[in-house]
């Protein structure tokens, strides 16, 4: 028997098993949501990210798991994170992950000032502390229940709730590592506009400004710019996001990225220093 015949025989076994699957109702607590921001601007920490934070609290309250990440972006607000840890051990794990990354950059002779990026600065972000505050607010106000290192899986560690998943700030590497951890739904906020998407799970794109949402009307799923305009509150957009997540996870709606089949390749966390 040829190799092709062998592969086809194995494929038929798997297809038979897959074809037998049926949709079944599961609670919102089965969601594993990754939150991330990329191409941030001065409105990220004012509109989109606070709305994600409000939605994060709703998800955690519903029993879901939410991962926030981007070590070099939250590094300068670490005291805010350790203060929310459920136990001293979790607080120490957060500190340890930050220390590991500092040493990683030092070994590669990389200056942390590379973050904020030129695009961030053009968008009005003045420094990394300001960026950190805007990034951290995506995590909402819930207690931080656990920490995972790059490549670890939530289920293996038995973690639920709000989780700090230590990853580089790079959009593509962060998304890849959150997928590896077990993410099944992703929320990505942007103010500068970032061509980011994943084939492996739906990505809900959130615009920080209305002009970006209008320009990318067939790419942005939610316009958080209405918060800055005063036509909606942070809570309003947070609830909109929560309901859209349930609709997307249930297959009732498609994200724009799903509709147009837009996605980037997965990117591994390699030894080269990344800020």
Tell me how far apart the alpha carbons of residues 20 and 110 are, in angstroms, rounded to a whole number: 52
- ∠ CA(220), CA(170), CA(162), 5° rounding? 75
Task: Mark the ranges of the chain whose per-residue pLDDT is less than 70.
Answer: 1, 271
Q: Which pLDDT value is given to residue 1?
A: 57
Measured CA angle at 199 (ends 5, 208), to 5 deg: 175
Tokens of 184: 């099944």
DSSP code of 193? -
Give the dihedral of Cα atoms 163, 173, 264, 34; nearest 10 deg.
10
- Tokens in use for 8? 């086809």
pLDDT in tens, 26-68: 999 999 999 999 889 889 999 999 999 999 999 999 999 999 9
Which residues are CB-contacts of 227 (< 8 A; sequence separation ≥ 6)?
46, 47, 50, 51, 233, 234, 236, 237
Distance between CA atoms of 93 and 172, rounded to whole angstroms? 24
Where helices occur in the chain by DSSP H, the ranges are: 3-19, 48-61, 71-74, 78-82, 88-107, 118-122, 128-136, 154-157, 171-181, 210-215, 225-229, 234-250, 256-260
Q: How far apart are CA 132 and CA 74, in angstroms?
A: 5
pLDDT value at residue 266: 93
pLDDT (0 to 100) of residue 195:
83
- Dihedral pair phi/psi, residue 52, rounded to 5°: -60, -40
CB 237 within 8 A of CB 222: yes
What pLDDT does 271 receive? 64
Domain-wise residue ranges, the chain: 27-260
Measure the CA–CA gap between 79 and 117, rounded to whole angstroms: 23
CA–CA distance, 198 with 83 (Å, rounded to integer): 33
pTM for the whole structure? 0.91
In whole angstroms, give the CA distance from residue 170 to residue 101: 14
Q: In the numeric block, which tokens belong to residue 80?
A: 């805010």
Q: What pLDDT does 207 receive?
A: 97
């Amino acid at each position: 028997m040829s190799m092709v015949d062998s592969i086809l025989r194995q494929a038929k076994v798997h297809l038979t098993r897959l074809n037998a699957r049926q949709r079944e109702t599961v609670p919102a607590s089965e969601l594993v949501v990754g939150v991330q921001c990329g191409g941030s601007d001065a409105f990220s920490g004012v509109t989109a990210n606070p709305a994600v934070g409000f939605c994060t609290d709703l998800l955690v309250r519903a029993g879901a798991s939410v991962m926030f990440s981007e070590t070099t972006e939250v590094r300068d607000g670490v005291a805010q994170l350790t203060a929310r840890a459920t136990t001293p051990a979790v607080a120490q794990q957060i500190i340890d992950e930050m220390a590991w990354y500092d040493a990683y950059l030092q070994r590669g002779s990389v200056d942390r000032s590379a973050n904020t990026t030129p695009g961030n600065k053009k968008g009005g972000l003045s420094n990394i502390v300001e960026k950190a505050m805007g990034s951290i607010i995506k995590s909402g106000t819930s207690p931080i229940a656990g920490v995972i290192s790059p490549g670890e899986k939530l289920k293996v560690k038995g973690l639920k709730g709000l989780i700090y998943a230590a990853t580089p700030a790079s959009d593509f590497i962060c998304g890849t590592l959150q997928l590896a951890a077990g993410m099944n739904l992703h929320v990505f906020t942007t103010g500068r506009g970032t061509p980011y998407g994943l084939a492996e799970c739906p990505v809900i794109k959130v615009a920080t400004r209305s002009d970006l949402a209008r320009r990318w009307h067939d790419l942005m799923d939610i316009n958080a710019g209405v918060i800055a305009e005063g036509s909606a509150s942070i809570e309003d957009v947070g609830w909109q996001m929560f309901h859209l997540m349930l609709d997307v996870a249930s297959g009732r709606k498609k994200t724009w990225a799903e509709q147009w089949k837009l996605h980037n390749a997965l990117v591994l966390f390699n030894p080269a220093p990344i800020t």
